[in-house]
Structure 1
Amino acid sequence: MKNTKEDVAYINSTYREEDVIFLLKDLSNFNLEGATEEREARVQRGEHYSESLPLEYQPPSAYMHLYYDALQDYKKKVALYIGVLAEQIYHKNGKNTVLVSLARAGTPIGILIRRYLIFKYNVTIPHYSISIIRGKGFDSNAVKYIIHEHPNKTIQFVDGWSGKGAISKELTHSCEKFFSETGIELNDTLALLADPGHCSTLYGTRDDFLIPNACLNSTVTGLVSRTVLNSAYIGPADFHGAKFYQELKEADVSNQYVDVITEEFEGIKANASLRAQILLEDSNSATFKGLETVKEMMGVFEISNINFIKPGVGETTRVLLRRVPWKILIKDFNSPYIKHILLLAEERKVEIVHYPDMDYTCCGLIKPLN
């Protein structure tokens, strides 16, 4: 395994290096994408989703207008919950923190937490983004590298939002496995900006609201693809891989996104501190409450594979952007968080179903191709 900075070739991104370092092997020269329906069929036949990449959806101008509207509408809300989350992390770990975001949804969240701590406390902490893959675990080589570089610091894992809690459980399993192999104990508490699934005790909110970066793919995450774990390209000493989409540079809004949110910190800092204190004093628990809703859906819609149900605004958006959607369930058609969902569903001719009895704002159902 690579242990020194001189040995490590980081994948490119459009983010500033002080904001984040991606510990990912650069696979930009390989053809890993396939047509959405073809890839979906392979995954449903048993190929692991991490072995290939979906084609990057490039939204039309009408959809981008919705994204920019969402950014303006929810920038203060995102900033507030970033502040709430950052205050809790700082209270628990102080300066002794290394932020480790889970690529890609967690990456802008980690950047914003880091920036908030600089803004509020004048404290600069390192931030890395690494891969975690359902059924495979986190990138242990990347975690070992971080520990080597920051031996006396506490790793805080960060992600964007919860759905069913699969990644929270994957993180716990990975930490247990890592301890059994190395004797090094890691904190498996996943810091989430939004936790509608009740999957963590460390979160900014449990409201299933629209986090604007969920609307886009690589163009809001430094032009970095989803992460890849395929033995044809990734050796036992390598980091997990990803691609850098240089050809999408003109469409990139990654730095604009984090800059717009950062500008809101001054106006929310007092409220963020107050809300964080309430959460720190509250003996909340991770009940995985949303999982019960998902199990009910499995019966109602006769779905045997729980992975075909993707609850929450963020996960529903992902289904529409890169999977083969079957139905979209909507709790309340008057919700301000679903405008982009309805536009994408109309574009892809996906059935919309009113489903009021759920904890989530919406839910995406993947089409069983067999």
Structure 2
Amino acid sequence: MHQMEKKSHFGSYAQDDVIFLLKDLSTFQLEGKTEQREKAIQSGQHYSETLPIEYQPPAPYLQLFHETLQEYKLKVALCTGIVAEQILSKKGSQTVLVSLARAGTPIGIMIKRYLKQKYQIDLPHYSISIIRDRGIDENALHYILQNHPGKEIQFIDGWTGKGAISIELTKACSLFEERYGIKLDDTLAVLADPGHCTTMFGTREDFLIPSACLNSTVSGLVSRTVLNDQLIGVLDFHGAKFYKELMDADVSNEYLDIVSALFPQIEADAERTAVKLMDHVQEVSFKGMDEAKRIQKEFMIESSHFVKPGVGETTRVLLRRVPWKILMKEKDSPYVRHILALAKERGVEIEYYPNMSYTCCGLIKKVGQDA
């Protein structure tokens, strides 16, 4: 059904680490200025039809990325191990890892490496596209199922915000079963689940996963995924661009190597914690979504899509949307130094807001005539 050859050269990761099931759109001009793109999105264009211009951070911000990586690498390694142990324990060695492009990709690679290092089990790992309100790439799912008959899929992402992608995944899986009679497990494995959206996580603390700080340069030089009718045919995978021109700024593999090197130190701890988590069934309450709706109401924001809770999501608002203001639970949280730096650079107001479970929350600005 699909040609696979092209896939090996997509992105800056080794093929042993991940295979991207994405159509290469590198030659197309899809980027638009943030403000113009925000206007188009807010007047009805779907965000997946275009791409934001990739933010290339100044040297001090990159320095901050490297500092946070050093600071949290052990925590990232531990959370990776905790999730990997749960996946292996619940699904066994006949599992295919499927990370959601692009924030899920480095996490999927780390989980794959952990299982390979500790158990000598080499699970296949693909990265595919899922898009809010548009669903999952069904062509990619069919490709995986055809190539790995009888194996079970485990979906992976970086973190949860208010749970929009978890909800999208559940919807997509039930639609897939309805259409093709194939039942997929919609449990999303993530490093951090501050939104309480899944049972499979490394922690529920809203901490800084360093890969949230950057865009493609920490995700294999791959853009966000794209779905528009002009470029994506009925039998195509969803699309993305490979930013080869950013090769010099790429820290994708360095990030993975730094974290993977710590796996031997955290193995025992990861196993213990995973067992504890599996012994006590974790409640999924989507309390993050409730909290986001409360904030939406309080600040009179017209759509819940404009409320982005959590460190990862707040960072993304600053990197590629038009921020209105940032809510901060506590001013001296160690997880928000990069957010303070970005907010200062972009002149975004920070409001002290202790009444939430998240570390911080990004609010998107209403753009257009009546703003």
The TM-score range, normalised by the shorter chain, is: over 0.9
Q: Hey, what does 2:332 align to over in structure 1?
A: 334
Q: Hey, what does 2:267 align to over in structure 1?
A: 269
Q: Which whole-Å CA distance do the structure 2 matches of 1:5 and 1:153 have between them?
A: 20
Is the 1:11–1:25 contact (alpha carbons within 8 Å) kept by the matching residues of 2? no
Q: Which whole-Å CA distance do the structure 2 matches of 1:30 and 1:63 have between them?
A: 29
2:53 to 34, 37, 55: 55
Letter in 2 for 1:304: E
Residue 5 of structure 1: how far off its partner (Å): 3.9
1:236-275 CA distance string (max 9 Å, x none): 0000000000110000000000000000101101110000
Return closer, same or farther for 1:9/1:113 CA change in 2, 3 Å cut-off. closer
2:172 to 150, 174, 182: 174
Q: Hey, what does 1:145 align to over in structure 2?
A: 143
Q: Hey, what does 1:74 align to over in structure 2?
A: 72
Count of aligned pairs between the two proteins: 368
Normalising by structure 2, what TM-score? 0.98
| Secondary structure class of the residue paired with 1:320 | helix
Residue 9 of structure 1: how far off its partner (Å): 4.3
Where in structure 1 are there 5+ consecutive unaligned residues? none
Q: Which whole-Å CA distance do the structure 2 matches of 1:59 and 1:292 have between them?
A: 33
Return closer, same or farther for 1:322/1:134 CA change in 2, 3 Å cut-off. same
Q: Which whole-Å CA distance do the structure 2 matches of 1:315 and 1:11 have between them?
A: 29
Q: Which whole-Å CA distance do the structure 1 matches of 2:54 and 2:206 have between them?
A: 25
Q: Which whole-Å CA distance do the structure 2 matches of 1:294 and 1:218 have between them?
A: 27
Letter in 2 for 1:14: S
Q: Hey, what does 2:16 align to over in structure 1?
A: 18
Q: Which whole-Å CA distance do the structure 1 matches of 2:156 and 2:30 have between them?
A: 27
Q: Which whole-Å CA distance do the structure 2 matches of 1:140 and 1:279 have between them?
A: 31
Is the 1:10–1:23 contact (alpha carbons within 8 Å) kept by the matching residues of 2? no
| Secondary structure class of the residue paired with 1:304 | coil
The alignment-based identity, stated in percent, is: 61
Is the 1:56–1:218 contact (alpha carbons within 8 Å) kept by the matching residues of 2? yes
- CA-based RMSD: 0.9
**Which aligned runs of 4 or more in structure 1 are off by greater than 3 angstroms?**
8-11
1:332-363 CA distance string (max 9 Å, x none): 11100000000000000000000001110000
| Secondary structure class of the residue paired with 1:310 | strand
Is the 1:11–1:26 contact (alpha carbons within 8 Å) kept by the matching residues of 2? no
Is the 1:102–1:131 contact (alpha carbons within 8 Å) kept by the matching residues of 2? yes
Alignment pair present for 1:348 and 2:340: no
2:291 to 274, 293, 309: 293
Q: Which whole-Å CA distance do the structure 2 matches of 1:11 and 1:263 have between them?
A: 25
Residue 299 of structure 1: how far off its partner (Å): 1.6
Matches within 5 A, 1:1-370: 1-2=1-2, 5=4, 9=7, 12-370=10-368
| Secondary structure class of the residue paired with 1:131 | strand
Letter in 1 for 2:77: A
Residue 10 of structure 1: how far off its partner (Å): 5.2
Q: Which whole-Å CA distance do the structure 2 matches of 1:299 and 1:334 have between them?
A: 26
Q: Which whole-Å CA distance do the structure 2 matches of 1:120 and 1:11 have between them?
A: 28
1:192-214 CA distance string (max 9 Å, x none): 11000000011110000000000
| Secondary structure class of the residue paired with 1:56 | coil
Q: Which whole-Å CA distance do the structure 1 matches of 2:250 and 2:185 have between them?
A: 34
Q: Which whole-Å CA distance do the structure 2 matches of 1:80 and 1:293 have between them?
A: 28
Letter in 2 for 1:26: D
Q: Which whole-Å CA distance do the structure 1 matches of 2:150 and 2:103 have between them?
A: 27
Residue 26 of structure 1: how far off its partner (Å): 0.2
| Secondary structure class of the residue paired with 2:157 | strand
Is the 2:7–2:20 contact (alpha carbons within 8 Å) kept by the matching residues of 1? no
| Secondary structure class of the residue paired with 2:158 | strand
Q: Which whole-Å CA distance do the structure 1 matches of 2:9 and 2:128 have between them?
A: 11
Q: Which whole-Å CA distance do the structure 2 matches of 1:346 and 1:323 have between them?
A: 15
Residue 307 of structure 1: how far off its partner (Å): 0.0
Residue 11 of structure 1: how far off its partner (Å): 5.8
Q: Which whole-Å CA distance do the structure 2 matches of 1:226 and 1:344 have between them?
A: 20
Normalising by structure 1, what TM-score? 0.98
Residue 295 of structure 1: how far off its partner (Å): 1.3
Letter in 1 for 2:290: E
| Secondary structure class of the residue paired with 1:19 | coil
Residue 119 of structure 1: how far off its partner (Å): 1.0
